[in-house]
Structure 1
Amino acid sequence: MSKRAPSDSSCTDNADIRAFVTELRRQNRSPHTQLNYGRDLHDFLHFYLLGEHGPEKTQQAGSVAEFRDWQAIDSQAVRAFLSFRVKQGICPRTLARQLSALRSFYDFLLEAERVLKNPAKGVKAPKQPQPLPKSLDVDLTQTLLEQPLATWQDVRDQAVFELLYSAGLRVSECAGLDLSPGLDQLHAGWVRVLGKGQKVRLAPVGSKAQAALQAWLKIRADVAQADEQAVFVNRHGNRLGVRSIQLRLDKKTQQAGLPTKMSPHRLRHACATHVLESSGDLRAVQEMLGHANLSTTQIYTKLDLQHLAQVYDQAHPRAKKRD
Structure 2
Amino acid sequence: MSTLGADVARFLDYLRVEKRYAPGTITNYARELALLDTYAQSLGLTHWRELRAEPLRGLVAREHRRGRQPGSLHHLLSACRSFFRWLLREGVIAHDPALDVRAPKQRRKLPQVLDVDEATALVEIPTDTPEAVQDRAMLELFYSSGLRLAELTGLVWNDIDLPQGLVRVLGKGSKTRVVPIGSKAIEALTALHAQARPDAAEPVFRGRSGRPISPASVRKRLKDWAKAQGVWKRVYPHLLRHSFASHLLESSGDLRAVQELLGHADISTTQVYTHLDFQHLARVYDAAHPRAKRRKE
2:241 paired residue number:
268
Secondary structure of 1:188's match?
coil
Q: How does 1:205-284 map to 2 (within 5 A)?
A: 205-221=181-197, 228-284=201-257
The match for 1:125 among 103, 106, 109 is: 103
Q: Check if 1:166 corresponds to 2:166.
A: no
1:322 paired residue number:
296
Larger Rg: 1
2:18 paired residue number:
none
Secondary structure of 1:272's match?
helix
Q: CA RMSD in A?
A: 3.8
| Residues 232 and 240 in structure 1, CA contact (< 8 A), matched pair in contact too | yes
Q: Deviations over 1:139-197 (max 9, x none)?
A: 111111123222101000100110010111112111122211x123x212222222222
Q: Check if 1:175 corresponds to 2:149.
A: no
| Residues 313 and 321 in structure 1, CA contact (< 8 A), matched pair in contact too | no
Letter in 2 for 1:322: K
| Residues 249 and 264 in structure 1, CA contact (< 8 A), matched pair in contact too | yes
How far is 1:214 from its partner?
A: 0.8
How far is 1:285 from its partner?
A: 0.8
1:93/1:36 Cα in 2 relative to 1: closer, same or farther (>3 Å)?
farther
Task: State percent identity of aligned pairs.
Answer: 43
1:140 paired residue number:
118
Which TM-score applies when normalising by structure 2?
0.70
1:140/1:31 Cα in 2 relative to 1: closer, same or farther (>3 Å)?
closer
Which runs of 5 or more structure 1 residues have no equivalent in the other structure? 1-20, 46-73, 105-117
| Residues 110 and 272 in structure 2, CA contact (< 8 A), matched pair in contact too | yes
1:179/1:123 Cα in 2 relative to 1: closer, same or farther (>3 Å)?
closer
Letter in 2 for 1:250: K
Deviating more after overlay: 153-162 vs 254-263: 254-263
Which TM-score applies when normalising by structure 1?
0.65
The match for 1:188 among 154, 164, 170 is: 164
Letter in 1 for 2:296: R
Which runs of 5 or more structure 2 residues have no equivalent in the other structure? 10-29, 44-52, 85-95
Deviating more after overlay: 79-88 vs 264-273: 79-88
Tell me, in whole angstroms, the C-alpha distance in 1 between the residues paired with 2:59 and 2:172.
37
Secondary structure of 1:271's match?
helix
| Residues 228 and 238 in structure 1, CA contact (< 8 A), matched pair in contact too | no
Letter in 2 for 1:139: D
Secondary structure of 1:187's match?
coil
Tell me, in whole angstroms, the C-alpha distance in 2 between the residues paired with 1:81 and 1:35.
9
* Number of residue equivalences: 256
Greater RCO, CA 8 A, separation 6+: 2
